[in-house]
Structure 1
Amino acid sequence: MTTLQEPAIATTARQPFNAATVAVIIGLVAAFAVPAIADDYWLSSIIIPTVVMGLAGIGLNLLMGYAGLVSLGSAAFMSIGAFSAYNLLLRAPFLPLPLVLILAGLLAAAAGLIFGLPSLRIKGFYLGASTLGAQFFFEWLFTNFSWFSNESQSLTISAPRLQILGYDLQSATGRYYLVIATTALLIALAFAIVKSRVGREWMAIRDMDTAASVIGIRVARRKLLAFGISSFFLGITGALWAFAYLGTSDAHTFNLDKSFQILFIVIIGGVATIYGNFLGAAFIVLTPILLDRLSLVFDLSFLADQGALANIQRIIFGTIIIVLLIKEPDGLTSLIRRGVGALRGPGKAIG
């Protein structure tokens, strides 16, 4: 019996890497090589916002896709992360940047736990509506109390000098590396959570919380944990959005429109997926740019004075989203998965 088992063990030992691991390694190498071929415009205006918004999508997807809970106030927790990071860097300059990002995420997580309390009693649409309270409350808080913006009359926060171990991150390349390194670590954390007992219990609660409670899962604790972890991701994302992308922002930067953008990223990319959020983010970021280029090609600039061009872009953008959701309700990830399965041949589709 031992003799039969030994070849299997030896075979496993000879294959320490699977296809997914190789793909991740190639992806990381390619990501860190991007500045060698991309100019500052691509880094600052396209790649950085796409990656950061994809990370925001992961934060919401952990809550909505894996735990089955709805939130319409994601941008509120981004604002907490942004304002917390700003004040920590301003009032405690001795703190290293990585620690500041973690602390900002933890402060956002604490707020997420508080505003996640309604999930213990309500669910679905009513829970989504209750999370709007966080959206409106924090936008009001950061708008009306100038202490959070260092008593600035404009109530804006500008990025302090970004550096790690003396290395200056002010350039487009430096900010890109900051975003990529942070994103890579948070993606690894997201996968670890999803594949852990916590992730499995989230999915059990998502499928049927009553049955999950019967088999011994502490549903209330896991729901609050989902809000906390989701808000932790969003808090760090908010700091990156304010400082690595915009350079300056205020409370209105993280308004309800931003929350809906994150929701669309999850829906378009695919619910209960990690990498699909970056497909959704690319769609959200690149579609307006493409529409703007098309408006120049077809000479629609004469509408810009009345603001009609912007409205037309919104209509087209919304129509594209509606058509995509009707034709592919499981998101772009499912579409790509089926396409790869079709190329592999019958019976080899990816699950």
Structure 2
Amino acid sequence: MFYKEAGQFSTTYAADRRVFRLRQDRYGLVLLLAFAFIGVPFIGNDYWFSAILIPFLVLSLAGLGLNLLTGYAGQLSLGSAAFMAVGAFATYNFELRITGLPLLVSIALGGVTAALVAVVFGLPSLRIKGFYLLVSTLAAQFFVEWVLTKFDWFSNNNASGVITAPPLNIQGIDFSTPVGRYLLTLGIVVAMFWLGKNLARSELGRNWMAVRDMDTAAAVIGIPILKSKLLAFAISGFFLGIAGSLWAFTYLGTVEPHGFDLNRSFQILFIIIIGGLGSILGNLLGAAFIVLFPVLLSNLVSLLPVGLIDSGQLENAQKMIFGALIIVFLIKEPEGLARLWQRFRERARLWPLRY
């Protein structure tokens, strides 16, 4: 009876509105964060930090940005990577053009810039929706990539359009090592997830869900449809812009506009489909699946006879399996891995009284 609720009563409105009402959930979150911030830096190695943990954290943040727009507000988008690119290049230019600007402020301004661009491409959502809105946001993907490639000012006159991460120094502390980049990414991602969770539970989050379920009924009861949609694009762009900055600076170190191509947008879309639309936890689960599945598949292939499957066949096999899993999740479990975890918790709260 680990999840037993007996004796845990809410006596105030503030207690009833807590994110984690069960004592076990609060303790579990504290232990998980303590392990992530203190335990992982001691037991992890450079490979895990650089190739597994940092991309997992950044992709989960990108998934959160898209999930707020698609899962909660119901606005389809295929321009996620474009907004990530805007955030990365804007952060780079803020650091380059403004001397002495703190790194965290540059990252935040990069997110604000991506939010403004997202609002511009979100304006068609005021008149169109569904597949047509999807095509409209797809235009952002190609337009942003073309602009960043065409005008070399954004890359400080670099002919190849490549930008390099600035020194990762915050208050005199160097975060350039793999452990430092992991801790910097983890701190920002945790703060952004806490913000996203509270946004989803706020009045704005409820407005988004009302617009998603039936915008006509939402307008009848007085919800500002246009304001809610544009705020969804702006906040989603802000999250994606910060994710793009982290992808460029703490993960890759150097990046070009083609690094934020359409494949990246589809990858983020797969994260929220597999993890679960309209779920905060689903972004973490979907990103973990996207990052760890290729590693698992590579390890399984290494057990086979040498030369049986080459690298090209392995990459094609990954794409086919991903496509099959997307179809399975859409048919069998449209709410994704988050729904499976929720079912497990519901059973755990009743165990051993009921199986």
TM-score by length of 1: 0.91
Cα shift readout 1:61-105 (whole Å, capped 9, x = no counterpart): 100111111101100000000101111112223100110111000
Aligned equivalents of 1:87 and 1:301: distance in 2?
46
Q: What is residue 159 of structure 2 aligned with on the other side?
A: 153
Q: What is residue 249 of structure 1 aligned with on the other side?
A: 255
Q: What is residue 33 of structure 2 aligned with on the other side?
A: 28
Counterparts of 1:140-219 in structure 2 under 5 Å?
A: 140-219=146-225
Aligned equivalents of 2:96 and 2:259: distance in 1?
20
Counterparts of 1:1-20 in structure 2 under 5 Å?
A: 9=11, 18-19=22-23, 20=25
Counterparts of 1:91-106 in structure 2 under 5 Å?
A: 91-106=97-112
Identity of aligned residues (%): 52
Aligned equivalents of 1:248 and 1:300: distance in 2?
34
Aligned equivalents of 2:72 and 2:345: distance in 1?
24
| Residues 165 and 257 of structure 1: CA distance in aligned 2, closer, same or farther (over 3 Å) | same
- Structure 1 gap ranges (5+): 1-6
Q: Residue type matched to 2:272 in 1?
A: V
RMSD: 2.3
Q: What is residue 133 of structure 2 aligned with on the other side?
A: 127
Q: What is residue 342 of structure 2 aligned with on the other side?
A: 337
Q: What is residue 118 of structure 1 aligned with on the other side?
A: 124
Note if contact 2:273-2:326 (Cα within 8 Å) is conserved in structure 1: no
SS at match of 1:116: helix
Q: Which moved more, 1:71-80 or 1:314-323?
A: 314-323
Of the candidates 265, 270, 275, which is equivalent to residue 264 of structure 1? 270
Aligned equivalents of 2:270 and 2:330: distance in 1?
10
Aligned equivalents of 2:343 and 2:261: distance in 1?
36
Q: What is residue 286 of structure 1 aligned with on the other side?
A: 292
Cα shift readout 1:284-335 (whole Å, capped 9, x = no counterpart): 1111122222222213646537x33322232233223333333322100101
Cα shift readout 1:3-41 (whole Å, capped 9, x = no counterpart): xxxx9859x98xx97434333322221210211111111
SS at match of 2:310: helix
Measure how far apart 1:153 and its partner are. 1.6
Q: What is residue 84 of structure 1 aligned with on the other side?
A: 90
Aligned equivalents of 1:320 and 1:348: distance in 2?
34
Q: Which moved more, 1:23-32 or 1:120-129?
A: 23-32
How many equivalent pairs are there?
340
Aligned equivalents of 1:152 and 1:311: distance in 2?
34
TM-score by length of 2: 0.90
| Residues 166 and 116 of structure 1: CA distance in aligned 2, closer, same or farther (over 3 Å) | same
Q: Residue type matched to 1:312 in 2?
A: A
Q: Residue type matched to 1:325 in 2?
A: L
Aligned equivalents of 1:347 and 1:63: distance in 2?
39
Q: What is residue 3 of structure 1 aligned with on the other side?
A: none
Of the candidates 309, 317, 321, which is equivalent to residue 316 of structure 1? 321
Aligned equivalents of 1:8 and 1:262: distance in 2?
38
Q: What is residue 50 of structure 2 aligned with on the other side?
A: 44
Note if contact 1:287-1:317 (Cα within 8 Å) is conserved in structure 2: no
Aligned equivalents of 1:40 and 1:93: distance in 2?
31
